[in-house]
Structure 1
Amino acid sequence: MRASYLVAVSATAILLSACTTVRGPAQSPQEAAAPAPAQPGAAAEQDASAALHALFKASDEDNLRRNPLNALFRGDMRYADQLGDSITDAYFDAERAAGDKDLAALGRIDRAALSETDQLAYDVFKWQTELALRSLSPEILPLNVVRPIDHFTGFHTFYPDLASGQGAAPFKTVKDYDDNIKRHHRYAWLIDQAIVRFRQGMESGVVQPKLVVRNVIDQLDLQLKQGVEGSTFYAPLKTFPADIPAADQARLRTQTAAVIRDEIRPAYQRLRDFLAREYLPAARAGDGLIHMKGGAKLYSYLIEQNTTLPLTAEDVHQLGLSEVARIHREMETVKAQVGFKGTLQEFFEYLRTNAKFRPASKEALRDEYYAIGKRVDARVGEIFSTLPKTKLEIRPVPDYREKNDAGGSYMQGAPDGSRPGVFYYNTYDLPSRSTWGQETLYLHEGAPGHHFQISLAQENEALPNFMRFGGNTAYVEGWALYAETLWDELGMETDPYQRFGGLNDEMLRAMRLVVDSGIHAKGWTRDQAIKYMLNNSSMGRTDATSEVERYIAMPGQALAYKIGQLKILELRAKAEQALGAKFDLKAFHAQVLMTGSLPMNILEQKIDRWIASQRN
């Protein structure tokens, strides 16, 4: 989720050369005017590559038409007046038909005739498409579609950001504002369609846990309390670009206020009342998928979807327990280093409650993140050969979602750099925030974590779009967690308390393996999971509660971090051992990052080939 695309032989050069005509030496002016006959193998590769990239382009264009927000986040404004569907049977039928069509076309391309890099793209495209089709299967889709909203992934959580003037949607021209109004109409419709899906779930017996429903109700209440002109949706109307005429400004204020007042707020109220009066009594009491009809089958799928590996819930649980034990041993070392005489649990409580580890103010928290960013910027070029062109900004989490948000998060920038990437830090319940965790959080969410991985992929125009803009959680979050381990190379965590912060964050990801599988496969309760996290780390109760409620809302997603990180660390250790003095950390990072987000098995195959090439 967190770099470089340049290595001895760059992926850019390989991808471009695959579409380049092969020419022989000219023998005469006439021969010089036309290409010489290509070698049979080269011609076959050229034809196969051309077909492959034509498929990628056609598939991507079709996807953008079906999913216009994907285009908007890229800065592609062709469908900016559309919000899309994403919830009806017709939408899912179209997605399924597109996946079947793409796989059929891929099957007609001779993989053996492709270059090594094109084979990599072929494999990723096939893996992603097959996984998407599984999510649309009769076994999986009915278990997800009737639960369209939760407090972490519902469109009521991201759409206000999109429309706030601080998100992906631009507000530079009159058309931008008009497009926003058109999206608002569709948004109100989507809210009502969510009620339809929830009702279907009540009939089928597939429902959200009560905890999730209560959290969504709280979020809707917060947005309803904003009113019209205090609404996040109204924010872009408070400051217009200077070149928008006054008459247009007046019209846009009137029309935007009307759609907020007459459509969005009533839709919110309908959803809120439905959830509170009808759905909450029918929601399940048990938090985990083990308590939901079809939940065991769904969790098995979600483990593979998120980790990209064929692991069982028991595999995950045992791996988590092993990692928790290892990290505890390293924490004991830090405890001894600072001279603390009590038990590890007492050390946790000391770090959790001592006032010297609390931010003095929201401004002090912000200023320290600014300082950390400057220190990273000064060193990061030592281990990455290419840095993102996209700027990184540091902002607090918006107040309307800070209560249920993580301690830190990242929003990607525009591929052309016109919109920066944003590292969000959370100031909610400030006394629960710990200064010793700041460096690690920045490395993960900012640089060289999510910002590097996402920006460098987006900026590499030589990659097919599904590799520039797509991804899987194990790679994205695995990279960001791996980025935390680069603290030594980047001169971070020189204070033992900051080193403990790094271990504490690593412990969080290890505990996720235990707790997520505990909740969804072993029947752990919310309180049991919170207690486990408090007993095994120095997390504050606010953060532990938010984390556990996130795992309840998003089963399996939290497994990806640790499993992805362990795979990248394993591949680095393998390369270091195999190459010895030839090992180049910049080149290794380029190999991991240069071709976008890869499933773990495909990444391993790629690194194995690179090791072999470096040996030779």
Structure 2
Amino acid sequence: MTRTLASAFAVALSLALAAPAAAQAPAAATAPVQNTAQNAAHEALWQLFRDSDEASLKRNPIQALFRGDMRYADRLGDYITDAWYDAERAAGESDLRRLEAIDRTRLDATDRIAYDVFKWQTEENLKGLTPEILALTAVRPINHFTGFHTFYPSFASATGGAPFATLADYENNLKRHQDFVTLLDRSIGRFREGMASGVVETKLTINNVIEQLATQLAEAPEESPFYSPVTQFPDGISAADQTRLKAEYRAMIADRIYPSYKRLHDFLKAEYLPAARDQVGLSAMKGGPVLYAQLIENTTTLPLKAEDIHNIGLAEVKRIHAEMEKVKAEVAFKGTLPEFFEYLRSDPKFQPKSREWLTEKYFEIGKAVDAKVPDYFSTVPKSPLDIRPYEPFREKHEAGGSYMPGTPDGTRPGIFYFNAYDLPSRTTPGMTTLYLHEGAPGHHFQISLAQENEALPNFMRFGGNTAYVEGWGLYAETLGYPMGFFDDPYQRFGTLSDEMLRAMRLVVDTGLHAKGWTRDRAIEYMLANSDMGRTDATAEVERYIAIPSQALAYKIGALKIQELRARAEKALGKTFDIRDFHAQVLMTGALPLAVLEKKIDDWIASKK
């Protein structure tokens, strides 16, 4: 799930997206007719948005929970059933019919952006719901990077997305657990369908899932994240209810959840694993090339081919290598770039001292970033940002960091997670850039500013696309340069290393899924071209294997945002204001890149 804004936004948006000043005003006699038609088109569009969003929340109650909407809190959702897929498809087709009946030319500039985003998102969703694509995806419901088996325990713990403020919250959580058990058993059925059709997951990903399930089963029920909510209760829950809930939660874990984990674990190990494929790339899976092409378009929001992306990655790797050589010379390191990588990997001074030390340093980075933010952003999120290490039960297979959104009203903070697993394999130069990407002003700003902005339709507040979201995160890292965080050569090398990671992703993801690369070849490529440790490189490659094309979004999205900023700086000259540019990029939610480009071009024209 990667999935998830300001009070003055309505005025700022109306000004930013206004028609160019040179446009002629309509004659007085025709203005009322045009205004009436425009109002009717606006109302029809927004009624469609409201109806579509409300229907989606009913089909996907967990989305409502993430927003703090408790109307469907007793259900998890009917995911991966034929009925759920059919309902999603029917809703998308109905939404498009209603959208096509609205005259786009009658809409103002703001509504035209919303129209275009809704159309793009709905059409992309439908592409993923065709029988041909579902035959390649629905039968692979779980891998080690995406699956309810790891998402839900964190969500349902006292520190995840599920609320635990009232007695009803605790009761609803138990009811959702019933749906979770059903979902795990349903996943076995989907896996069996794939075994019959010849569309199967990789041995690598399934072995990792087996390990994840075994890790959770090894915990006593009282140590499970599912039990965490009853270890601390809010005020207002009686002693009798507390005693009852503790017993019911333990029984649910021991008698329902753990047995469902065991069924899935045993099935995967005894039946599915022998049928899983040895080759890790989609190019080796039945129907894989067709799926990968569709995933690239969906992920990047652009009509790109795997070969083109591979070549962009190779060019970026070469450029960043040149910048790394400059840093190596600046610190007077005597040796090759690969030797410098090894020095950064292995020298104790670049290794975090402890989980607690790592936490303290991230808090220090956060305070330093906060002091610089007003120079670059006119609006900041209401939602606070919390800093936490991953929980031990999932840290081994997680990335170096990630972000979980808070609630729109700010009552639950956004969370920046960092990975404290295998500390000797981790290095400190990349800490600042990781925080800038996952925390502020990266995902926390982008996601929070969108969902806090009630002037946007909900699908723009809470939806999005990976190229924009991750492109913004990578672009946010580059703000460390003018903010002064990369004056230190090792911190600068850290951000170059992270940029190198995103460039290598273009090479490795396409290598794995379009060119037949093996897991080991991909890992060795990353080790040879960066200062990554083997643990991190392995986790990254296994992530690309599990979620093909997702890793392409970062660099493709960032390159587009950087291109648009350079275009605006050149066109506007001394009148260019970085805060205005960032508001244009951020304050209408996560736009497909072509829609974002059109918006920025219109803004430049209006400023000139």
TM-score, normalised with respect to structure 1: 0.95
Tell me how far apart the structure 1 counterparts of residues 244 and 13 of structure 2 sit (CA, whole Å).
50
Whichever residue aligns with residue 230 of structure 1, its letter is: E
Q: Quick check: 2:188–2:267 contact (8 Å CA) kept in 1?
A: yes
2:97 is the counterpart of 1:104: yes
| CA deviation after TM superposition for structure 1 residue 242, in Å | 2.7
Tell me the residue number matched to 1:50: 43
Q: Which residue of 2 aligns with 1:345?
A: 338
Q: Is the 8 A contact 1:440 1:505 kept in 2?
A: yes
- Show the 5 A alignment for 1:481-492: 481-492=474-485
Alpha-carbon shift at residue 362 of structure 1 (Å): 1.3
- Structure-2 residue corresponding to 1:11: 13
**Unaligned regions of 5+ residues in structure 1, if any?**
17-35
Give 1:346's aligned amino acid: E
Distance 1:61 1:14, change over 3 A: farther
Gaps spanning 5+ residues in structure 2: where? 19-28
Partners of 1:68 and 1:83 within 8 A in 2: yes
Q: In terms of mean alpha carbon deviation, does 546-555 or 39-48 score higher?
A: 39-48
Pick one of 440, 444, 447 that aligns with 1:447: 440
1:126 CA displacement: 0.3
Change (3 A) 1:298 1:517: same
SS at structure 2 position matched to 1:489: helix
What secondary structure is seen at the aligned counterpart in 2 of 1:548?
Answer: helix
SS across alignment from 1:512: helix
Q: Choose which of 536, 541, 545 in structure 2 pairs with 1:543.
A: 536
Q: What is the aligned counterpart of 1:399 among 392, 396, 399? A: 392
2:160 equivalent to 1:191: no
Deviations 1:190-236 (A, max 9, x none): 00000000000000000000000000000000110112111110011
Identity over aligned pairs, percent: 65
Residues 17, 109 of structure 2: 8 Å contact kept:
no
| Residues 583-613 of structure 1: CA deviation (Å, up to 9, x unaligned) | 1100000000010000000000000000000
Kept in 1: contact 2:9–2:455 (CA 8 A): no
Counterpart check, 1:430 vs 2:423: yes
AA paired with 1:332? E
Displacement of 1:485: 0.4
When the two structures are superposed, what TM-score results if normalisation uses the length of structure 2? 0.96
1:484–1:502: 8 Å Cα contact kept in structure 2? yes
Q: Which runs of structure 2 are paired with 1:358-377 in the superposition (5 Å)?
A: 358-377=351-370
Instruction: Read off the aligned partner of 2:95 and give its amino acid letter.
Output: D
CA distance in 1, matches of 2:14, 2:90: 31
Match of 2:323 among 299, 310, 330: 330
- After superposition, the CA RMSD in angstroms is 1.7
**Contact 1:379–1:491 at 8 Å: present in 2 too?**
no
One-letter code of the match for 2:198? Answer: G
What displacement does 1:42 show?
Answer: 1.1
Residue 420 of structure 1 corresponds to which residue in structure 2? 413
The equivalent of 1:305 in structure 2 is 298
Aligned twin of 2:515: 522
8 Å contact kept, 1:324–1:511:
yes
Q: How does 1:88-167 map to 2 (within 5 A)?
A: 88-167=81-160
CA distance, structure 2, for counterparts of residue 7 and residue 582 of structure 1: 21
For residues 14 and 290 of structure 1, what CA distance do their matches in structure 2 show? 45
User: How many Å apart are 1:255 and its aligned residue?
Assistant: 1.3
Q: Which residue number in structure 1 is paired with residue 378 of structure 2? A: 385
- Residues 465 and 592 in structure 2, CA contact (< 8 A), matched pair in contact too: yes
Amino acid of the structure 2 residue aligned with 1:389: K
Please name the residue that 1:600 is paired with. 593
> For the structure 1 residues 7 and 422, does the alpha-carbon distance in structure 2 shift closer, same or farther, using more than 3 Å as the test?
closer
State the partner residue of 2:175: 182
1:86 pairs with one of 79, 82, 88: 79
2:21 matched to which residue of 1? none
**Aligned equivalent of 1:32:** none
Tell me, yes or no, if the aligned pair for 2:203 and 2:273 is still in contact at 8 Å: yes
How far, CA to CA, are the matches of 2:541 and 2:457 in structure 1?
Answer: 37
Q: Could you tell me how far apart the structure 2 residues matched to 1:297 and 1:4 are?
A: 41
1:31 counterpart residue number? none
Which residue identity is paired with 1:532?
Y
**Matching residue of 1:565:** 558
- Report the counterpart of residue 23 of structure 1 in structure 2: none
**Residue matched to 1:464:** 457
CA contact 1:12–1:462 (8 Å) conserved in 2 = no
Q: Counterpart in 1 of 2:209?
A: 216
Does residue 1:501 correspond to 2:503, yes or no?
no
CA–CA separation in structure 2 for the residues paired with 1:359 and 1:505: 17
Secondary structure, counterpart of 1:341 in structure 2: coil
Q: CA deviation at 1:9?
A: 5.5
Conserved? CA contact 2:5–2:452, under 8 Å: no
Matches for 1:2-81 after TM superposition, within 5 Å: 10-11=12-13, 39-81=32-74
After superposition, the Cα gap between the structure-2 partners of 1:420 and 1:12, relative to the gap in structure 1 and judged at 3 Å, is farther
CA distance in 2, matches of 1:14, 1:92: 39
Matched, 1:296 2:289: yes
- Secondary structure (helix, strand or coil) at the match of 2:498 reads helix
Cα deviations across residues 46-65 of structure 1 (Å, max 9, x unaligned)? 00000000000000000000
Can you list the C-alpha shifts for 1:521-579, whole angstroms capped at 9, x where unaligned?
00100000000000000001100000000000000000000000000000000000111
Call closer, same or farther: CA 1:307–1:225 in 2, change over 3 Å: same
- CA displacement at 1:37 relative to structure 2: 10
Would you say the 8 A contact 1:449–1:480 is kept in 2?
yes
Counterpart residue type for residue 101 of structure 1: S
**Distance in 1 between residues matched to 2:594 and 2:475, nearest whole Å:** 17
- Does the 8 Å contact 1:4/1:589 carry over to 2? no
Instruction: For residues 120-143 of structure 1, give each alpha carbon's deviation from its aligned partner in whole angstroms, at most 9, with x where no partner exists.
Output: 000000000000000001221110
Distance 1:579 1:15, change over 3 A: closer
Q: 1:7 to 1:274 in 2, by over 3 A?
A: closer
Instruction: Give the C-alpha shift of residue 355 in structure 1.
Output: 0.7
Q: Say whether the 8 Å CA contact 2:6–2:453 is kept in structure 1.
A: no
> Residues of 1 paired with 2:79 and 2:504: CA distance?
33
Q: How far does residue 8 in structure 1 lie from its aligned partner after superposition?
A: 11
The one-letter code matched in structure 1 to 2:383 is: T
Report the counterpart of residue 232 of structure 1 in structure 2: 225
User: What displacement does 1:260 show?
Assistant: 1.1
Q: Does 1:272 align with 2:274?
A: no
Secondary structure of 2:386's match? strand
Higher mean C-alpha displacement, 497-506 vs 228-237: 228-237
Change (3 A) 1:8 1:222: closer
Cα 1:12–1:256, aligned 2, differ >3 Å: closer, same or farther? farther
Deviation at 1:4, TM superposition (A): 7.1
| 3-state SS of paired residue (1:424) | strand
Equivalent-residue separation in structure 1 for 2:174 and 2:285 (angstroms): 38
CA contact (8 A) 1:5 1:386 kept: no
Q: Does 1:204 align with 2:191?
A: no
Describe the SS at the equivalent of 1:414.
Answer: coil
- Cα distance 1:500–1:281, how it changes in 2: closer, same or farther (>3 A)? same
- How far, CA to CA, are the matches of 2:98 and 2:60 in structure 1? 21
Structure 1 counterpart of 2:26 = none
- Of 593, 602, 605, 1:609 maps to 602
